[in-house]
Chain A
Amino acid sequence: MKKVSQYQPRDERAHPPYVSPRYVSTARRAPLLPAVAIPQSLSELTGPVFGDEVVRHGDDDLTTNAGTGSPALGERIIVSGQVLEARGRPVSNTLVEVWQCNAAGRYPHVHDTHDAPLDPNFLGAGRMLTDAEGWYQFTTIKPGAYPWRNDHNAWRPAHIHFSLFGPAFLTRLVTQMYFPGDPLLDLDAIYMSVPDAAARQRLVAKFEREASRPHFALGYRFDIVLRGREETPMEGS
């Protein structure tokens, strides 16, 4: 009988509570009853495996993957990082999905009505798989800030949405990457929905001169840490 590793608990200090009063729309959408704790079974310890069939050629370059033949407008950047388990093991061949607004702060999404220009050459989305060492990399343009209705003068700091799977159903993570030095961070109800300051810092990418490509693009590094496996495997099914 093979053994299955259990995972460390979700770190409740790292994640935002459902009810986050500054983030107004959580009031009607946050589950209010306590979650029911269950042991980790094969249902939680297995997870989907994606391959090249879900990744289009060129989908790691958001400056060109609209396919129009003209590049997206904005400050070109390269975002790269390593996907790791909490104990430091790289997460290889896992699907990373990203989406963002354009340089003016406008999503091409059908429901975005912000009065900022659309970029006809910007799709604002990409997909890639991590390599054998857990690394991902994509080229894009730096997203703009944009207003939202959380209060009378609320603005989202520049951010890129990330969706990750990891090895198991329980390692699924949806998060957002922010940029260093953004004055909007401490005013943002979503960034601030993470109560712990050190945990919030892990959402901020680092500018890295070494990750930049001379005469082409500035580089940002954003490592993502998923729940990690315990050291001692448990008896499997």
Chain B
Amino acid sequence: MPSWQTPAQTLGPFFHQGLARTRQAFQLPWLCGDAVDVIGNVLFNERTLGQRIRVEGVVYDGLEEPMVDALVEVWQADAHGRYNSPLDTGESAVDATFTGFGRAPTDEKGAFSFLSIKPGNVPWLGGLVQAPHINVIVGARGMARQAFTRIYFDADAGLASDPVLSRVPAARRHTLIARAGGEHDGALTYRFDLHLQGENETVFFDF
């Protein structure tokens, strides 16, 4: 199979300049006055349908030390399970207020967070459905390329029959499930840590 894919390279330590362009990223204050980037970690607006959620976590390296220079990106369906993409073949209306993409660099404690809505069930092949999930890309200095994973939600009825989770060794499935942490400011909070190595190494996917 001929293939000329351009190789991936690490994000490096200075990606904030390009991908999370805020005044905190620059040492010369006049270069950027923005408190938030136009692509950020708040995915909804006041008109977006769905249960508000806040997903937060820490990215850990192989020594279980927080990674202060990682980038977490998310891509998810709307409350009805539709992706805001021309490639989603579903027929129900898509929530035009919800792009479904967000990104968050980790902070000085290695923590990231997203404010979003709980996605609906997404179709699978053959008429089956996938449990609600958020697709994740993580990258950082020291990661020669980016890695893909998923966030599922604690206590969802669909977890047991999810066609992706069923492909994951049972002992590792817990690394993909965010833990509910109660309600805060009208949003359900979920905890989801990423471990790049170690006994709780997050499951990463190839597709």
Contacts and interface: CB of A to CB of B under 8 A. Distances in A.
A163 B19 contact: yes
Contacts, number: 271
A39 B31 CA distance: 44
A108 B11 CA distance: 16
Contacts of B100: 48
B88 A42 contact: yes
A223 B6 CA distance: 9
A36 B203 contact: yes
Interface string A100-114: 010000011111100
B126 to A, nearest CB: 8
A225 B5 contact: yes
Contacts of B101: 48
Contacts of B86: 49
B97 interface: no
Contacts of A40: 207
Nearest to B88: A46
B90 interface: yes
B139 interface: yes
Given A30-B144, A33-B201, A193 B9 contact: yes
Given A31-B196, A49-B86, A123-B31, A108 B17 contact: yes
A211 B83 CA distance: 39
Nearest to A167: B87
A217 interface: no
Interface string B1-36: 101111111111111111101001111101110000
Nearest to A20: B144
Q: Which of A26, A36, A54, A118 has the most CB of B within 10 A?
A: A36
B88 A203 contact: no
Interface residues on A, range: 35 or more
Contacts of B12: 161, 176, 190
A173 B206 contact: no
Given A14-B3, A31-B204, A43-B130, A174 B8 contact: yes
Given A16-B144, A23-B144, A190 B10 contact: yes
B99 to A, nearest CB: 6
Contacts of B56: none
Interface string A1-35: 11110001011011111111001011111111101
Interface of B: 1, 3-19, 21, 24-28, 30-32, 38-39, 61-63, 67, 69, 73, 75, 77, 83-90, 99-101, 122-125, 130, 133, 135, 137, 139-148, 150, 164, 167-168, 172, 196-197, 201-207
13 contacts: A14-B4, A14-B7, A25-B142, A26-B144, A36-B168, A41-B122, A41-B164, A109-B14, A169-B137, A172-B137, A174-B145, A175-B6, A190-B12
